[in-house]
Structure 1
Amino acid sequence: MVQIKTPEQIAKMREAGLVVAAIHAATREAAVPGATTRDLDEVARKVLEEHGAKSNFLGYGGFPATICTSANEVVVHGIPDEKTVLKDGDIISIDCGAVVDGWHGDAAFTAFVGSGHAPELIELSRVTEESMWAGIAAMKVGNRLVDISRAIETYIRRQPKPGGGKYGIVEDYGGHGIGTEMHMDPHLLNYVERKRGKGPKLVPGLCLAIEPMVSLGTPRTEVLEDDWTVVTTDGTWSSHWEHSVALTAEGPLVLTAPDGGRAKLAEYGITAAPDPLAG
C-alpha cells in the first residue's frame, strides 16, 4: 500500500527535510582533502544532535554509521571509516536522513573534493542532478509513477557525454516512497521498464524520494564483502543526487531543499507548493 499523508504530516516531514538540508550544508563544507569519511559522519551526527533529530541510517538493517559516504567508483552505501581519506580531485556522494517525531527525510548530493576536477566529472554530476529535477518536475497530480522514470531517463539519454559513449543509469537501485519509514512503496526506477507498467497515479499526499544514480560507464553494480558498499563493475566513477518530495494539491514541495525547490522548479515553469513552516 502507498502511504498518503495529510498536510499536517507533510509539515512534519518538512521539519525532517530541513534537518537533512542542514546536514548537507555541514558535510559539504567538511568534505575537504585530508578529511576522512568518519570525520564527515561525525559532522552529521552533531547536526542531528543540535536539531534533536534521529538518524534513520544508523542501525538500518545493521548499517553502522549515520550517513553513507560513497567516493568515486562507489555508487551508494559506502560506510564511513578512518581509512578512507579524501583526496584532491575526488568526488563523493553523501547520503543521509533524519527522523522527526516519527517522520523521515532522505536526500543525497555529490560533492567535489578540492579542485581541478576533470570536465567529464563536473558534467556527470550536473547531468545526474538535473535529471533528478526533471523527475521532480514530472511529479504532477494525474501523472503516473512511470512519468517520473521517463523524465529522468529522457533527460540523461539526451545529454552528450564528453568523449563519446553513453552514461550508465544504475539498474539495481532507485527511488522510493517515504514517510513513517525511510523506504516504502512504491519503488521508483530511474528508467522505463515496460513490464512494470505505468505504476500508481500521483495524488496529493504522495511522498517520494527521487534519486538517480549515473556512472561514466556501465549501469551494472556489485556489492563488496562488507555487504553494503555498492561499486560499478567496471570501476568507472558515479554520481548520486536525491531529494524527498511531497506532492500537494498546490504542486510539489521539495522537503529536503532549503527553499522547498522553488528556484529550480521555476525553471520548469512550476510553482512550488507553499512551505508549511514558512512565516
Structure 2
Amino acid sequence: MIELKSPAQIEQMKPAGRFVASVITALGEAAGVGVNLLELDALAHDMIREAGAESCYIDYHPSFGAMPFGKVLCTSVNDAVLHGLPHSYRLRDGDLLSVDFAASVDGWVADSALSVVVGTARQDDLKIIDTTQRALAAGIEAAQAGNRLGDVSAAIAEVSRSAGYRINTQFGGHGVGRTMHGDPHVPNDGKAGRGLKLQPGLVIAIEPWLMAGTDQIYTDKDGWTLRSKDGSRGAHSEHTIAVTADGPLILTARD
C-alpha cells in the first residue's frame, strides 16, 4: 500500500535524511587503500549509536537473503554490485567501492548509496559512476507531481542506455517511510507516461545501479552479495526524495 506523507511528516523525515547523508559522506571520505570493510561498517555503527538512530539492515531478512544481514552497511567491491555483506577485506588501489546505507531516526527512514574509486581510478570506473549519478539526477528531475512513475524509470534508462549500459530490473528503487522498503517499486527501466501518477507526499528512493558488461547477476556464497555474472564492475547511486508541489526534494542531499 502506498502512503502519502503530509508536509509535516516530510519535515519530520528530514533529520533521517541528513543523518544518512552524513554517514554516506563519512564513509566515502574514510574509504582508502588498506581500510578494511569491517572498519567502514564499524564507523557507520558508531555513528548510528552516537546519533541515537536505528539500523535498517542489521536484522533485515527478506526472502532473497540467506539469513539476517547482521551488519549496518552494504559494501560492494568491484564485481559485487549490490547488497555486499561486509567482511574482512582490505581495500586495494583501484578498487571500485559502493556503499549503501539506511537508518531510522525518530521512526522515519532514509536510504542512500554512493560509489567511489579507492586510489588510482580507471576511466571505465569513472564513466560508470558518472552514468549512475547522471541517471539518478534525471530520475529525480522526472519525479514531478503530475508525472508518472514510468517517467522516472524512462529517464534513468535513457541516460544508462545512451552511455552503452544494459539494465537489470530485478532490483530498483522503492517507497520509503516508517520502513526501508515499501510501495511503489521504482524500476530503472520503463515507459514514459505509464504507471502510478506521482502526487505530493510520495517519498521514494531512486537508485540506478549498473554493471559494465552485463545485466545478469548471481548471489555469492555468503547468501547476500550480488555479483555481475561476467565479473565486470558495477556502480550504484541513490537518494531518498519527496515529491512536492514545488518539485522533488532530496532528503539525503550531501554537502
TM-score with structure 2 setting the length: 0.94
Pair 193,140 (structure 1): closer, same or farther in 2 beyond 3 Å: closer
The whole-number CA distance in structure 2 between the counterparts of 1:168 and 1:65 is: 30
* Counterpart check, 1:136 vs 2:140: yes
Alignment of 1:152-167 (within 5 A): 152-159=156-163, 166-167=164-165
* Counterpart check, 1:53 vs 2:53: yes
Deviation at 1:168, TM superposition (A): 2.5
Q: Paired residue for 1:30?
A: 30
Alignment of 1:8-157 (within 5 A): 8-61=8-61, 62-82=68-88, 84-115=89-120, 117-157=121-161
* CA displacement 1:69-126 (0-9 Å, x = unmatched): 00000111111112x11001001110001101211000000011112x1111101100
* CA displacement 1:145-179 (0-9 Å, x = unmatched): 000000000111222xxxxxx31322311000110
1:229 partner letter: T
Q: What root-mean-square deviation, in Å, do the aligned CA atoms of Structure 1 and Structure 2 show?
A: 1.4
2:10 partner letter: I
SS of structure 1 residue aligned to 2:54: coil
The whole-number CA distance in structure 2 between the counterparts of 1:172 and 1:251 is: 28
1:100 partner letter: V
The whole-number CA distance in structure 2 between the counterparts of 1:227 and 1:70 is: 14
1:29 partner letter: E
Deviation at 1:60, TM superposition (A): 0.8
1:92 partner letter: L
1:14 partner letter: K
The whole-number CA distance in structure 2 between the counterparts of 1:155 and 1:167 is: 9
2:44 partner letter: A
2:5/2:202 contact within 8 Å kept: yes
| Count of aligned residue pairs for this structure pair | 249
2:204 partner letter: L
SS of structure 2 residue aligned to 1:190: coil
- Percent identity of equivalent pairs: 42
2:117/2:125 contact within 8 Å kept: no
Deviation at 1:193, TM superposition (A): 6.4
SS of structure 2 residue aligned to 1:35: coil
> Mind listing any 5+ residue stretches in structure 1 that lack a counterpart?
160-165, 260-279
* Counterpart check, 1:205 vs 2:201: yes
Q: Paired residue for 1:257?
A: 253
Which structure 1 residue ranges, 4+ long, deviate > 2 Å from structure 2? none
